[in-house]
A and B are shown apart, each in its own frame.
Chain A
C-alpha cells in the first residue's frame, strides 16, 4: 500500500443487516492512477463504492488525502473532490440534460458561474450528443445517452477522485471504447479513477492496478498487467478459453 495514496481503504466491512457484503477489504488508489476492482456479480463492488462515498455506514477506516472520511457526510465528501457515478446513475429524470449537468456543479457553486460554464463547455465538447439533447428530459434519453449524462454530471463536479461503477454497462462496443478512452484522457488531466467493471479485459488494459473481489473478500491484487497474466483471473474474468 503506497504511503502517499489519495484514497486508502483499510479493513472496511459493510453489512446489510446480518449479511456482510464486504469483509475487511483494504485497497489504495494513488494520485493520478486508475485502479480497477473486478469480481463476479454480487461480490460487493457496488457496496464498497457506496461505503467509500458515505451512502452506507461501514466499519474500518477510509482515508482521503490523509484525512479520515468516516465522520463526513456524502456532501462533504463530494465537496472534497470525491465523485461517484453510481451503478443506477440516479439522474434527475424529470429535469433537462442541461439542468442535470448544472446541478453536478452544485458543490462548486462558490467558484462562480464562469467556472461552471467553462466546465459545461468542456463536458459538451467531450459529449457533443449531450449538447444536442440539452433541452431534453433526462428520463427520455436512451440508455447510452444516460450513461454519458451520468459521466458528464460527475465531471461537472471537477472530481479529484472519480469512482465509476460499470461505466460501460449496456453500451455499444464503439461507445465502450470511447468511454475507456475518456477514462484514460481524464487520468492525463490529473483525475484519479477508481473503476468497477465487468468488462475486465478493457479495464485491466487501461488501469495501473487491479483488485479482485469475491463474495465480499479481496482475493487478489497487484499491477493490472500481472493480474491480466494470472491464469486464474484469465480463466474466470477474461474468458481466456474463448479467445
Chain B
C-alpha cells in the first residue's frame, strides 16, 4: 500500500467515522435520558437521505404523508388520554403541539417542494421534517411505557424498527437514492488529495458535536437533560418532567439522525432499509463508550470508520464481519475493567 492509497482510505474512514460519531451521540443521548436503546435510529437517517433526494425531484409526498399520519395518531392518543383522565384543560395546547405543528410542516413541504427551492432550503426542510418525526414516535411508542424496564423498551424499539421499515417502503418506495455532492472542490497537500466533500462532512459533524456539547453544558435545558440521565427521581423532584425530557431528547436524536442522512446522501446510495447497518456501526461506537461516555464513543466511532475503510481494501468481503467482530474484544475489555456499581445516590 502506498501513501496515496493509505491517505484515501484514512480519509474515507474519518469521513464515515464522523457520521458514526454523530449517530453514537444520538444513541448515547437517547439511552442516557430515556433508557431506550434506539434501534430505529437508522430509519430516521434513511428518511433524511430519501426526503432530501425527493425534494431534489420536487417531491415531498413521502415524508409529508408520514408526518400527517403520525400527527393524526398522536392527536387521537391525546384525545383518548384527556377522556380517560377527564381532564380537558390542556387538550387544545397538546393538540396544537402534537397535530398542528407536524401538519403545518407537512403542509409547508407539500406547497414548497414543487417550487424546487435552493439546495440549502431543501436541506433545512429535510432536517425540520425528519426532526419532527422524533418526538411524534416518542409520543406514540415510548411515552406510554416510559417507566417500563430497559428490556421492554428494547422490544418496542425492535418492533418500531420493523414498523418504520414498512412505513419507509410504503412512503418512499423501494428505489435507492443518492443526493448530489455538496461541493466538487478538492485540495492537494503534499501529494495527498483531500476532497472538499470529506472536509465538509467532518467539519459539519464536528460543529454539530461542539454545538451539542455547548447545549448540554451551558444551557438550562441541556443540564436538565443531563440531570434526568443522572437521577430521574431527583430530576422529577426539581420539576423536570420525564415526558418533557424524553420529547426533547427524541427531537435532538432525530435531528442528529436526519443530519447524518443528509451527510451520507452524496457518499452512498440509500434505500429505505439502508439505515440499519449504518446505525449498527453507531451502536458499536456507543457500546465502546458503554452507552454513557460520549468522548469514548466518539473515539470508537473513528475506530469503526477506519477499520471499515481499511478492511474494505484488504478483505472487502469481510468488511462488515471485521467491524462487528470488533465489539467482542471491546465488550470483554469493558466487562473486565468496569466495576458494576450500584445506583449511587
CB proximity of B105 to chain A, nearest CB, Å? 26
A79 within 8 Å of B by Cβ? Answer: yes
Q: Which B residues from 208 to 230 make CB contacts under 8 A with A? A: 220, 223-224, 226-227, 230
Interface string of A38-73 (1 = CB under 8 A from B): 000000000000000101000000000000000101
What residues of A have a CB within 8 angstroms of the CB of B238 in the complex?
78, 103-104, 106-107, 153, 157
How many residues of B are in contact with the other chain, CB < 8 A? 21
Contact indicator B87/A71 (Cβ below 8 Å): yes
Number of A residues whose C-beta is below 8 Å from B?
Answer: 30
* B231 close to A53 (CB less than 8 A): no
Complex: A53 Cα to B240 Cα, angstroms: 14
Nearest chain B residue, comparing its CB with the CB of A96 = B223
Q: Which B residues are CB-close (under 8 A) to A103?
A: 220, 223-224, 227, 235, 238, 240
Q: Say yes or no: A93-B87 contact (C-beta < 8 A), given A74-B236, A104-B238, A106-B224.
A: no
Cross-chain contact B345 with A109 (CB below 8 angstroms): no
Given contacts A71-B85, A89-B345, A90-B231, contact A99 B223 (CB under 8 A): yes
**Shortest CB–CB separation between residue A157 and chain B, in angstroms?**
7
- The reply to whether A74 and B344 form a contact with Cβ atoms under 8 Å apart is no
Residue of B nearest to A87 (CB): B345
Residue A83 lies at the interface, judged by CB distance under 8 Å to chain B: yes
Whether a CB of chain A sits under 8 angstroms from the CB of B237 is: yes
- Are A55 and B85 closer than 8 Å at their CB atoms? no
Of B224, B231, B240, B344, most buried by chain A (CB within 10 Å of CB) is B231
User: Are B226 and A74 interface neighbours, CB within 8 A?
Assistant: no
Contact of A90 with B241 in the complex, beta carbons under 8 Å = no
Known: A88-B233, A89-B345, A92-B235. 5 other contacts (CB 8 A): A78-B238, A88-B345, A91-B231, A92-B227, A95-B227
Q: Which residues in B have some Cβ–Cβ distance to A below 8 Å?
A: 85, 87, 220, 223-224, 226-227, 230-231, 233-241, 244, 344-345
